[in-house]
Structure 1
Amino acid sequence: MPKKFLITGATGNVGVEVIRYLMNPDHDHTIIAGVRNIEKAKEKFRNFSDLEYVSFDFEDPATFNDALQNVDSVFLLRPPHISDVETYFRPLIEKIKEKSVREILFLSVQGAEKSGVIPHNKIESLISEYNIDHIFLRPSYFMQNLTTTLLPDIREKGCIILPAGRAAFNWIDVKNIGEAAAIMLTRFSELKNQAYELTGYENANFYEVAELINRAIPGTVEYKNVNPVRFFWLKWREGMPPGKIVVMIALHFLPRFQQEPEMSDIYETLTGKKPASLAEFIEREKDEFEFSDV
């Protein structure tokens, strides 16, 4: 039976991929992009003539009512700059419940259930508190962090600067996340009320990642391990919001005291394909890593 899906964060890395996979030629669902700027979104998705749009802003509860009208399922994520769950997510979850939206697929993070510090843990608890059918999709570390959050330091300083030490991270391509999420949305009833860790098939620390980049492109990328206090000061001086800095520290520093990430075969089970490797991702995106010698 056709459903109406609201995709939050629609123009972000993951949202774009979720929409791209949902908008396959055989789909019979209504796909709605929840965005702050509809005209810009229409330009971004100009190849998807059947995509619908609605005004939606996590920081403006006045947009929630219309955006959730007659929606069956919500693909929900946390914008990186929002860390105050009570202020921004409780009103949204309350409205989702009020509007009788039946299903939430929340893009969480691997290990969210083990760390009460990170916002993803609190959002999962909030969704469970309101007793809404859900899927918690817990992907491992995004390969695309190298081409988004960490890219300015790579381009401007020739460095990856983090408080991660030699902690191993499991790496997953956002394209794989989008595909898995799209499948889960369309098969929600058989997968609901479970958490699924979505991982690639390799763990690597940032020293190893820098070495992989250096094999693929000319020049030198160095990984600089810094302590959390220095990292906070560096990013605060650059103008990064304090809440985002704290989340980045939690996501990169805490793994130093945890076991190496476990790997799952969920992506291969859902798609019949193996997830992308780091080397494949770096080769595909190597033009992004243009930086000046320092």
Structure 2
Amino acid sequence: MSQQQTLLLTGSTGTIGKLLIQQLHSTKQEAHLKLKLLVRNVEKAKELFDALQSDSFQLEYIQGDLPINDKSVNTELLFDKVEKIFILAPDVPQKVNLEKSIVEKALQYTKASNGQLKQVVKLSALGVSRDRETNNLLRWHADSEYEIFQALNHYNEVNSDNTVSHVFIRPGMFMQNILGGYEHYYLMNHNMIVRPDLNTRHSYTTSFVDVRDLVKIISLVLLETDVTKYGDKTFTITGPSTTTNQEFVEIVSKVLKRDIHYEKVSEFTFMNMLKEMQIPNDYIWMLIKLYQTGKENGAASIIYEDFENITGTSPTTFEQFLLDHLSYFNQ
């Protein structure tokens, strides 16, 4: 019988998590694969994934949530035989503590039980910086990267025979955002794309990444048995090109064959539009800070080739993404 690889995944029932599990399932492997899924709702997870189960692709559902503590989940059940952990926590102000908790508990278990943990893979974000405002998603990600890096370094210093590496994956903004939420609402109901006015003197552009490409990278990292290949590295994942907001709208109009217009509004108006949709205040501020950061440092305007360097293929274009998801835009 082939050797079994065991991975622990968080965030598995969200957009990224669902696509990641499908990608892991579709990727041919010599070794059998077991996924431990930390989920709040086991029944929901079973409805999503049970059909994928087989002798070579096993799923174990563990009810619990971040942050990890001894009362919320059985840590032995969670971490036993786990070789790699994929961390994807909600984009909330508590993100640092949520993500740090699972790393600290995993390292405690590994040390006490001679566990098999070899690598921690964290989904981060393009443009992270600890110099950002405290209510900025990019600050949360940067602080989380720092805490995970420090925890692993400390562990490795005293456990040099059984070290655990990190992989930080930093994607740009997702193409999938247009398939739901406020962007999809205004597109479908008002034929417009709404963005806050950045008041920049230069032509501000953004690169969007297809989550399907993102999960290909994550899958390759998780399934790689040689942890030194990607270990202790950071990868930045973007799309193949950048667009201005106006160019973005023109592509949408062309592919959907609809007259879509770009509505540039003040940040104040943008915030009120989201409040009317009953979007949580923390999420609204997160979006505002992302847009503000983009106009300041221009990180979203840079194309990185890490995806092609790793996979040998080009990332998906925005046009192709829209063509693949036309059903989302049927009236």
Q: Tell me the TM-score normalised to structure 1 length.
A: 0.89
The alignment status of 1:234 with 2:242, answered yes or no, reads no
Displacement after TM superposition at 1:72 (Å) = 1.9
Residue aligning to 1:142:
174
Q: 1:59 to 1:221 in 2, by over 3 A?
A: farther
Distance 1:34 1:175, change over 3 A: same
Partner in structure 2 of residue 280 of structure 1: 320
Unaligned ranges ≥5, structure 1: none
| Counterparts in 2 of 1:283 and 1:33: CA distance versus 1, 3 Å | same
Answer with 1 or 2: which has the greater Rg.
2
Change (3 A) 1:87 1:19: same
Q: Identity of paired residues, percent?
A: 21
**CA–CA distance in 2 between the matches of 1:240 and 1:265?**
34
In the alignment of these two chains, the number of paired residues is: 290
Instruction: Check 1:288–1:183 CA distance in 2 against 1; reply closer, same or farther (3 A cut).
Output: same
**Which residue among 144, 151, 165 is the counterpart of 1:123?**
144
Alignment RMSD: 2.3
Q: Report the CA distance between 1:202 and its aligned residue.
A: 0.3
User: 1:146 Cα deviation (Å)?
Assistant: 1.0
For CA contacts below 8 A with separation 6 or more, give which structure has more relative contact order.
1
Structure 2, gaps ≥5 residues long: 111-116, 153-163
Q: Distance in 1 between matches of 2:68 and 2:104?
A: 14
Residue pairs, 1:30-41, within 5 angstroms: 30-41=34-45
| Contact 1:64-1:95 within 8 A present in 2 as well | no
State the partner residue of 1:111: 127
Q: Which residue of 2 aligns with 1:96?
A: 106
| Separation (CA, whole Å) in 2 of partners of 1:59 and 1:161 | 35
1:59 to partner: Cα distance: 5.9
TM-score, L = length of structure 2: 0.79
Q: Say whether 1:186 aligns with 2:206.
A: no
Deviations 1:112-170 (A, max 9, x none): 14753322112111211212521110111111111123222222332222226463111
1:16 aligned partner:
18
What SS is found at the alignment partner of 2:313? coil
Pick from 78, 92, 95 the counterpart of residue 67 of structure 1.
78
After TM superposition, give the deviation of residue 277 of structure 1 in Å: 0.4
Compute the displacement of 1:87 (Å).
4.7
CA distance in 2, matches of 1:168, 1:99: 45
Distance 1:17 1:202 in 2: 23
Does the 8 Å CA contact 1:164/1:252 hold for their aligned counterparts?
A: no
The runs of at least 4 aligned residues of structure 1 exceeding 4 Å deviation read: none
Q: Secondary structure of the residue that 1:32 maps to in structure 2?
A: strand
